[in-house]
A and B are shown apart, each in its own frame.
Chain A
């Protein structure tokens, strides 16, 4: 099926225009962060900064707590992803191998957990965290995020485990593996792409949270995550758009990089449970 020349040109043009439109906000973030303050309000706007101002980033590190916010976000995201992965690997494995009949109910349950409005859950959780003394502590966020990740992560991993033939563990167990050994030494290595995709999903979910951070951590500026910090910071530095955009870019960067590396796995991972 050979394409005619005009068809090829049309295809490439469409792809380029589509990507340009979708990526424009990201591009604008980069350009604005490098703009000297004076040309932020230039008319017409400068689409390429004539004189890139890298010191905006240095100013950002000195004047704001962005590095601490990013560290807090990283701690929360790693811990929440870690906890939820342990729970989701075990649960997904169990659903795939032991509870094969109930998987339809599990699907509905996962859907149900997606239906719970976080804005409702957060009202009692606010009281619970306060009586546990976790208000302002990163732990409140870690548990909330881990729970938000578990249902969908379980579903994704179950899909992966379903695609691994049973005979693999059976062979391992005939060779003397315990059921645990079979899971950790045989199944998990085979499911590595699935684990990568699911972890990325969890990390992105945790890193993006604003609602829980805003509600649990607002009173303790030391434990702010990057989204909370930037939202507050935006309120203070209303007009310093170059600084605000530099901070935004830094906040998005870790996730964008992880996404670029793991995107291949993600495509299969998200639909592993659903698309069969």
Chain B
């Protein structure tokens, strides 16, 4: 307030391009302090519960720790966990399952998400309700969703087998969770059902921000529906598609609840992703060091994938 009446000090930093600082507070220095002060609670939470545990996990991965304890400091550093990891066939199996799941679930979810968003973006009566309902699975907790699907997929009395038999798609009931390929399909089905609404919500918001004039102009120029989609809708959606893709990929890669409750990683490792294997090693076998090494490898892969994706879509994402 006072600085409105006082002449500005000659030393006032002219470097600042925006007029945000100087005017609002007594001095720019204080404004900056306030800015950092405001960040403090979030930073403390993140340091305490994300960064510190992450560093600790990296440290544990270099120790031969068998139990869930923090008193591993005395033991010596070792590469044993990583050596064992890269020699383990379970590990390579988990990498393969994660990669397969990633490609299948992400591509189907993106397509379904895009289709659903385009559908409820049309003009029709009851559009608001349709928008609300089609994204409802987003709001259903993963465990609840999976338990419901367990009943739908039940081998003897499940409604899905009944429908498929009735439609003549299958000749005999499928025992969904006891064979590798059906179990993998079941995981895919549940993940797509749970995952596509988020993508739809994002894409719908993207669609709504495309100016109607673009389409009108294209129509005047004689572009048909397909051409309008390719040349207007898709390019305008690129930022949103990029963000959705990265978030979906990371979700599939790290998800625990769906697979744990649905198949527990079975049968014979057919749905055992890196995340599932990490948890099993840590809390079923109490091999904390080994599990941490697995976690670190998962983190590195996540970082590489998102670095790649962000680069590909970087002009669009941030």
Contact = CB atoms under 8 A, between A and B. Distances in A.
Chain A residues touching B, majority SS: helix
B131 A210 contact: no
A266 interface: yes
Interface residues of A, number: 101
Nearest to B145: A25
B49 A125 contact: yes
A210 B151 contact: no
B136 A45 contact: no
B132 interface: yes
Nearest to A115: B302
In the A-B complex, the 4 residue pairs with the closest CB atoms = A120-B295, A98-B35, A94-B38, A91-B42
**Could you say which of B133, B154, B206, B298 has the most chain A C-beta atoms within 10 Å of its C-beta?**
B133
Contact of A44 (B136, B162, B206, B278): B162
A41 interface: yes
A123 B288 contact: yes
Interface of A: 8, 11-12, 14-15, 18-19, 22-23, 25-26, 28-29, 32, 40-41, 43-45, 83-84, 86-88, 90-91, 93-95, 97-100, 104, 107-108, 111-128, 130-131, 143-144, 146-147, 150-151, 154, 166, 169-170, 173-174, 176, 179, 204, 207-208, 210-211, 215, 226-227, 230-231, 234, 241, 244-245, 248, 251-252, 255-256, 258-260, 263, 266-268, 270-271, 274-276
Given A18-B116, A22-B134, A28 B240 contact: no
Given A90-B41, A123-B295, A266-B201, A274 B317 contact: yes
B299 A115 contact: yes
Contact of B141 (A90, A98, A207, A267): A207
Interface residues of B, number: 108
Given A25-B193, A98-B20, A116-B54, A14 B38 contact: no
Contact of A15 (B119, B138, B296): B119
Contact of A252 (B144, B150, B296): B144
Contacts of B133: 19, 22-23
B54 A28 contact: no
A122 B60 CA distance: 12
**Could you say which of B68, B198, B296 has the most chain A C-beta atoms within 10 Å of its C-beta?**
B68
Contact of B202 (A40, A174, A270): A270
B217 interface: no
Given A90-B39, A271-B205, A116 B50 contact: yes
B202 A274 contact: yes
A184 to B, nearest CB: 12
A169 B34 CA distance: 15
Contacts of A226: 141
**Could you say which of A14, A120, A244, A251 has the most chain B C-beta atoms within 10 Å of its C-beta?**
A120
Contacts of B198: 270
9 contacts: A28-B151, A91-B39, A115-B302, A115-B306, A121-B53, A146-B45, A208-B141, A208-B142, A267-B204
Given A126-B68, A154-B42, A271-B240, 10 more contacts: A15-B126, A22-B137, A117-B274, A124-B292, A147-B49, A147-B50, A204-B138, A210-B256, A248-B147, A259-B136
Contacts of B254: 115, 117-119
Nearest to A97: B20
Contact of A267 (B156, B205, B282): B205
A260 B298 CA distance: 36
B240 A275 contact: yes
